[in-house]
Structure 1
Amino acid sequence: MSRYSKGISLLENLLFFWCGLSLILSIGGDNLVIPSWLQVAGRMHPLMLHFPIVLLLLAIALLWMKEESWRGFGKNLLLIGANFTGITVVAGLLLASEDYEGDALAWHKWLGVVSLGFSVFIYFFLDQVANLFRLAGSGLAVLILLTGHFGANLTHGEDFLFGPLMPKEDKMIALEEAEVFRDLVQPIFESKCIACHKEGKIKGELRMDHLEGLQKGGKSGPFILAGNLDESLLIQRIHLPMENEEHMPPKNKLQLTEEEIEILRLWVMSGASFEQKVMELPQEEPLFQLASNKFTTEKTYSFAAADEDEVKELNNFFRKVKPIFPGSPALEVAYFGASTFDASSLSDLKNIKEQVVKINLNRMPLENVDLSFLSDFQNLEEAQLNFTGLKSGQLEGLSKIQSLKSLAVSGNPFGEEGLENLKKLTQLKRLFIWQSGISESGREELKKALSTVQIDFGFDDKGIIYPLNSPKIDFDKVMFQGTTEVKITHPISSVEIRYTLDGTEPDSINSPVYKEAISLTKTSQIRAKAFAKGWIGSEETKTLLFREGMKPKSYKLTDEPHKSYKAKGATTLFDGVKGKANHTSGEWLGYTDSPLEIEIFLEKDQKPKAVELSLLLHEGAYIFPPETVEIWTGNAGTWSKVTIPPTPQSTKTEEIRYGLLAFDLPQGSFDQVKIKLKPIGKLPSWHQGAGSKGWVFVDEIVLN
């Protein structure tokens, strides 16, 4: 017998050895004591498994061919591949005795054994199944792929193979909805720990893929001891030197970041709760401060946005419907003009009832109006119903809206008989109920019934010195040509009005006293206050008036504005039309994901000395001054950057208003100007949406 024949015979006999050994280990492996040297052999399973996969698939491909020479080579390759399959299956069964269990392991183990048996069957009965080989070969290929799939699930997690094909969603988590464990701690475990501590692979007898496993701990003791950093194995292991074999995660795995280590430490120290919400933490605690930077206070909503055309149709002179902040599907509705209010118009909102989260009906005549329609607004969070003539019975339907968190019903004559219906509003977080005819004892009764609700009953104004009303600034147009006149008036003729034109706040001593109409010849910010003896000085009134500048030859935006706030494109910036003080008016360019960058090409005789940028500011809607402003002047594509001072940034939330940035341009000859405004990347910590992206809104660029 030749050496070749002897080799083939040996490999064929080995196939029966591998099959027998695999069956013994599969059926009785749990009752066997595996020596340490065999455990080393078992741990070679991940190193060897690629050989049989490649060899068997290549053998199947060759055996499909018609040429006898290729088929003969394919049969020999099948023999070698089947032997490698046997070695790999035996090694895998030895490895399975170490901290592995679960459905994924069972499927991987038995599919591996079946793959071995099927490859041996095909080899010995190849001639007999020649006509069915394509079917048998395809079946073996499918078995190999399924075995590999369940093996990958063991090592890399569920759906490792098909993960890239599955849709991914970047879930925005609102701070008020975030939970400490679910949204801060568990993601760390999932990315850095669970691969070695889950169903099918339980190192150290510790499972971290469900709460019971975390609470139970592992073979070395309790994984977490609430408030006890020294005795919690989690904290001990992550702080061990990386060279220590008990360091978590192992040194060959992706390590925890400093922030992740701090989150885990603070979580254990604060009590290691599995249910606590972030908002339940004291705000001075470091864990709350860490969390407030990770989550947005832009509340996320699962419902789809309303049809834009439908929203536009609902807007008119007595009703305004707009998103609560740019890009949000959630809407707020406000009604104006009590004398023209028609209660039947409330039915118009039925098509957007899913999207309405705020409704303002202040001072609308709602007496005898059936408010039960609001119970259909199951996402309604805030209702303003002040001074509307409501009776307590009309509030009954509001108790059914579990999403309702803030209710303002001041100035409505509920009296003591209204207490019973008010007590049902247990889902609220805030209740404003000034001037509602409720006695002191009734207030105490209501406080007791709504113990978790913050109730505002108003205040006693006896002995208080009242502030003056703000003065009124009258003018013809916000955007004027040449010269315009400004008048400042107050309903009390004896007050003294002080004003400024340079943007500073007026005071009662140094600011000019208004005596006659002010003539303006340039863009100016007018700020005015009223003062009188025995009164508190008024809040200031302010406005920005813009003088039209020169019209450039042409202009070009580098990036398009956000699709919802694109107005008329670049033309908007030089059309001489001032946008209304409302970001949804359709007259503003809005940017959030990219900067506003524009190139302006000048006529030959144009020599601008300054550039002014007209902004909209509304911190409550995430609209801020730009984070940075860059200006260049150029000739024929050669640019020179203009040195400008840092951009002043908002320090608190104020009412919606116009903003102005003005910069001098250098002397000399240039025929191009380039301007770049970068939106604020992360809103400051004092803002309700700390850490979220901000917006920049611009409606005019003025060259003077």
Structure 2
Amino acid sequence: MALLTVSDWAAFFGRFHPLLVHLPIGFLLIAGVFELLKITGRLSISLEVMQSILLLSAIGATMACVAGYFLSLEGGYEADMLEEHKMQGIWLAVFCWLAWLAKNRWVNERVGLSSILYLPALVLSLLLMIAAGHHGGNLTHGETYLTENTPQPMRGWLGMPDKKERVQENEEKKSKIKNIQEALVYQDIIKPIFKQKCESCHNANKMKGDLRMDEIELLKKGGKHGNIFVEGNTDKSEFIKRIILPESDDDHMPPKGKTQITEDELALLKWWIEQGATFDKRVREVQTPETIKPILAKLGSGAGGASSADKVPQDKFEVEDKLLNESVDKLDEGSAQAIKKTGALILPFAQNNNYLEISFINKPKLTDNEVSVITKAKDQTLWLKLSNTQITDIALAEVAKLTKLTRLHLENTKVTDNGLYQLNPLTSLEYLNLTGNKISDSGLKNLKTLINLKKLYLWKTEVTPKGAEELRKSLPKLQIELGMTEAQIADFLKAKPNEVSDDLYKKK
């Protein structure tokens, strides 16, 4: 089994920084309270207990510093604030150790620094803890996160605007589009969506994935994975792909738990991309499909706010939920090791059940001959990821033996129409990704027996809207994502503004 690289270990340990920072916070607060009670004569505490508390504070602060440094290597943070936070954390650890040394009996007997060093070191540790915590919160959540919900009368004492005034200002900003035809497409329609749903993680202080979305030039530049949008092509626009992924997917954006993009907002974002991702044109200067006009009318009337009912529907996998409530035997160690030897990752669903995900994400050269090993976990496997491997139709015979599969990733493999009939036994399957394969309308007919299928990805295949519609007749609850076809893209690039059909902008 291959060992993880140093960078892998650093990234792994770095993610524990938010957990480790709570150790010095807790122990320092206890030390401060104990000392205050001792000074006021309300508590008597032994030297050994205080030494232990201070030692744990120092160790915790040091571990948090190391983890924080590793986390900072991932990038995506504002440099100046990160440097301040880092130095505050380092000095916090230093003063924690000084406080412990000053309280240490052995050091005190020889040097006698306790009365001189201890209290200043403890006080400075507490102050640095507050400052470092504040800057850490700013790096993670933005500069206004701590104060944005400050109640009255504290807002008045601190010279902050009344909260009602802020709410009113926000509502005015939402409804300020008096003439929708004269509105700037990006500035007045698209940017507010980014600001509300994206900029909390992609701004000057926090740049997840080295991506900033608060300024036009930086938005165009993209992040560490390159451009996030392609003018005129929603299929190749990375941020659109991530929005429509299931919320449970690691790559879904905004992340699970954050306020999600609504259906109307998604439609507007696609429209903006399809119109060339312009930053300077007005609504009247671009083509407006019939599907977009009602959404723009809402913005023009000041009713652009979205209710929770308008959110982009996230997939509810009912069969999967039912299976997760059933018990299953744990996969034996011998079978697990045999699967891992092929380069697969075995990921548990949760601590309270024995269901698994098997992923070959790290084995792009996986072949048909190696796939049969997955049947050793046929009772435990709910998710299987074979994407971007070398498997062909032959491997599907082995995949079909995993009859409890609820999600199957086959994107960018060598699977064709000829092999899809072999998936018929997978009646629990609710998610299937066939993106980038040689799949056509004829092959799609083989999926009609997958009665629980709810989500099917067919980007970059030969499937036509007509073929997709035929499959929907058999599976009415199925959502099919086709993306824009090559023909549609070519038509879009050739067409004059007034000749573009509304159908071109509908995502089939």
What is the TM-score normalised by the length of structure 2? Answer: 0.47
What is the TM-score normalised by the length of structure 1? Answer: 0.35
Q: Judging by fraction of residues, say which structure has more helix.
A: 2
Q: Judging by fraction of residues, say which structure has more strand.
A: 1
Question: Which has the bigger relative contact order, CA under 8 A and spacing at least 6?
Answer: 2
